[in-house]
Amino acid sequence: MTQYQHIQVPEAGQKITVGADGALNVPSQPIIAFIEGDGTGVDVTPVMRRVVDAVVAQVYRGERQIHWMEVYAGEKATRVYGPDVWLPDETLDAVREYAVSIKGPLTTPVGGGIRSLNVALRQQLDLYVCLRPVRYFKGVPSPVREPSKTDMVIFRENSEDIYAGIEFEAGSSQARRLMQFLHEEFGIHKIRFPETSAIGIKPVSREGTERLVRQAIQYAIDHDKPSVTLVHKGNIMKFTEGAFRDWGYALAAREFGATLIDGGPWMRLKNPKTGREITIKDSIADAFLQQILLRPVEYSVIATLNLNGDYISDALAAQVGGIGIAPGANLSGSVAVFEATHGTAPKYAGKDYVNPGSIILSAEMMLRHMGWIEAADAIIRIMEKAIRSKHVTYDFARLMEGATQVSCSGFGQVLIDQLHAEEA
Ligand SMILES: NC(=O)C1=CN([C@@H]2O[C@H](COP(=O)(O)OP(=O)(O)OC[C@H]3O[C@@H](n4cnc5c(N)ncnc54)[C@H](OP(=O)(O)O)[C@@H]3O)[C@@H](O)[C@H]2O)C=CC1
Ligand SMILES: O=C(O)CCC(=O)C(=O)O
Ligand SMILES: [Mg+2]
């Protein structure tokens, strides 16, 4: 077993391992790594652990148990490891070694300061899929008339695009040299204010696109979904976003046998598992953002680049009642890191106030990923019952008629009470 400097490996419990075929081998007493998170991470993460422990204990009658192992990132890492150690190497090693983990949100300052630790974690572990399912829970207040029509799963490319973090500050020698290079070598004269421009680089590769789109189509096949939509801004960014679309369609044809519908570019393929048709289509990102509001039933699985996926995640979350219950996962073939879609919401940090639903539903995804289906199903059930009881956190209470507002930990208790009521 790896020796860590500050990570305490639980004495009881075993590692989850990943077979050559990518299948997980989950012991009945797995060790799961967790990052508490900055800001409201201190509120939501302990509540998530308490709810998951209660669910696992009840559903498996003590025969299964998670052994939590804290690993550090963000502000807590600087307290444990020393100033400026935001993402210790041993955190990356542990997350890789233990295969399944869950994290709270981490702060990224705007403008200067450290670059995103969330993005660094995804890039350094090559967690190339950001999977964010968006579904409606009955009774959740929503700004749209028929929120139940929104049922989508976002596959956001997580390793490239402008999130690669290659950008040069306005006025820096790198920006100036790059500008000069573009000017002299490529004859580019259309940068409007060259003296005061910053420059960012947007890498988008065929390999990166194909592995993401492959996962999205496979998900549609495995979950019997009617369509996969490639969302891009390829009319403007032809060789990056446009290529994402073209490479996506080409992959659908080559690897899944998709054929053109009426001369294309839309395609269809027959789901080999169900015989039903899956449409492969595309949508330009701006039009897509209005169509998901106006005609959400036409969209199911979404495959998109990093920045589009970031925007779409929050927009779709709002459509079904907000970021308080929007879960997610970052996945590679061998490592899975589950996390909420929301950030650290600093104004609420440490106040036991925000909705822990997002990280609890991320844990639900984690349990499903581990094959602990009964526990995952129980989390969905008690979430539905808790919302129906109208004992909810501020975000729902402020929009729900007749609601009783509860704290973050109070909502965790409502879930646990619902669980125990099932037993009675
Ligand atoms: N994966 C990650 O770790 C992420 C980290 N971040 C980071 O988080 C920090 C803050 O980002 P910010 O843009 O303010 O976005 P946040 O998602 O943190 O907060 C925006 C708003 O969303 C609502 N909200 C957030 N969390 C919850 C919750 N648990 N329950 C209910 N409502 C919630 C609140 O709305 P209201 O004001 O209406 O109550 C809040 O003001 C930044 O440093 C950013 O980089 C951002 C996104 C993801
Ligand atoms: O890394 C961050 O701070 C923000 C990331 C983000 O918004 C997201 O992943 O949805
Ligand atoms: Mg985001």
* pLDDT tens digit sequence for 285-315: 999 999 999 999 999 999 999 999 999 999 9
pLDDT exceeds 90 at position 111: no
Ligand nearest to the CA of 110: 1
Percent of the chain residues past pLDDT 90, beyond the cut: 96
* Rounded Cα distance, 416 and 61, in Å: 15
User: ipTM of the predicted structure?
Assistant: 0.99
354-373 mean pLDDT = 98
* pLDDT value at residue 112: 81
Query: Is there a contact between 296 and 226 (Cβ–Cβ < 8 Å)?
Result: no
Cα 267 to middle of ligand 3, angstroms: 30
Lining residues, ligand 2, CB within 6 Å: 108, 116, 118-119, 310, 313, 341, 343
How far lies 26's CA from each of 1, 51, 62, 101, 360, in Å? 17, 20, 16, 13, 20
Amino acid 1: pLDDT = 64
Tell me which DSSP letter residue 400 carries.
S
pTM exceeds 0.90 for this model: yes
Judge whether 243 and 209 are in contact, CB under 8 Å.
yes
**Nearest residue by C-alpha to atom 37 in ligand 1:** 345
- Positions marked catalytic: 163, 233, 286, 310
Tens-place pLDDT, residues 223-252: 999 999 999 999 999 999 999 999 999 999
Nearest ligand 2 atom to the CA of 130 is 9
